[in-house]
């Protein structure tokens, strides 16, 4: 265990020197390629076609740099940056992670957003990708936390699609995934995904770790 933690520390340190994450930065990750992540990337696409499958929100504190995320492993939680980077896909020896920052006119919304995220710590992961069920998937956590100050989401919902971009058909993996949970594929249900969120006009890319 000590050896694993040491490796994570070295991995994070090697990519942390040239760039400083700020609280409220959105950190997008291309996953290492599980069936679940492949199904997400097959149905969505990020800015410049980077296949983002996960997103979290950075927080700098006296105890270090962390990423708030909603994960199938643990629900809403605060993950050390080094762990988050180590869990990404590795492209040319580097973590497939990109940092986006709110444009200046939206940054005053960050303190309230962080307060909302902290209040949701420990909530379960939303395996069904449904709104208003007291469980959260990654981009949903970001969405409900960032409000424009007038009650509207900074990242609005859009009809979700689980269809493969190439074939136009819902992947058998998604059919099996939802069937195993006793649910229908929520095709067309309002929601979000990391790829579309990365293309939002309220964000600007400020750093790539790869």
Identify which of 193, 164, 161, 186 has the alpha carbon closest to the alpha carbon of residue 70. 193
The predicted structure's pLDDT at residue 142: 98
Which residue blocks in the chain are alpha helix, DSSP H?
2-16, 35-43, 81-86, 110-119, 138-145, 172-179, 194-198
What are 88-125's pLDDT values in tens digits?
Answer: 999 999 999 999 999 999 999 999 999 999 999 999 99
Between strands 97-102 and 203-208, the pairing is antiparallel
Task: Using the Cα atoms of residue 187, residue 141, residue 155 and residue 55 in order, give the sign of their dihedral.
Answer: negative
List C-alpha distances in Å: 168 to 29, 47, 176, 188: 24, 20, 17, 14
DSSP assignment, residue 126?
-
Q: What is the rounded CA–CA span in Å between residue 79 and residue 51? A: 21
The predicted structure's pLDDT at residue 168: 87
Between strands 75-80 and 90-91, the pairing is unpaired
What are 24-39's pLDDT values in tens digits?
Answer: 999 999 987 655 556 6
| N-term to C-term CA, the chain | 27
DSSP assignment, residue 108?
G
């Amino acid at each position: 265990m000590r050896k694993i933690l040491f490796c994570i520390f070295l991995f994070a340190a090697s990519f942390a020197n040239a760039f400083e994450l700020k609280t409220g930065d959105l950190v997008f990750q291309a996953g290492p390629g599980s069936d679940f992540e492949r199904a997400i990337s097959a149905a969505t696409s990020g800015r410049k076609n980077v296949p983002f499958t996960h997103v979290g929100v950075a927080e700098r504190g006296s105890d270090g740099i962390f990423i708030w995320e909603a994960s199938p492993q643990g629900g809403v939680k605060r993950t050390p940056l080094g762990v988050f980077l180590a869990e990404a896909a590795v492209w040319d020896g580097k973590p497939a992670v990109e940092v986006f920052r709110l444009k200046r006119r939206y940054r005053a919304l960050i303190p309230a957003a962080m307060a909302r995220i902290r209040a949701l710590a420990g909530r379960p992961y939303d395996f069904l990708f449904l709104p208003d069920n007291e469980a959260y998937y990654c981009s949903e956590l970001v969405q409900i936390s960032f409000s424009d100050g007038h009650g509207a989401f900074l990242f609005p919902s859009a009809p979700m699609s689980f269809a493969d971009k190439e074939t136009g058909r819902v992947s058998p993996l998604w059919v099996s995934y939802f069937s195993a949970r006793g649910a229908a594929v929520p095709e067309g249900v309002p929601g979000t995904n990391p790829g579309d969120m990365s293309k939002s006009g309220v964000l600007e890319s400020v750093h790539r770790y790869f």
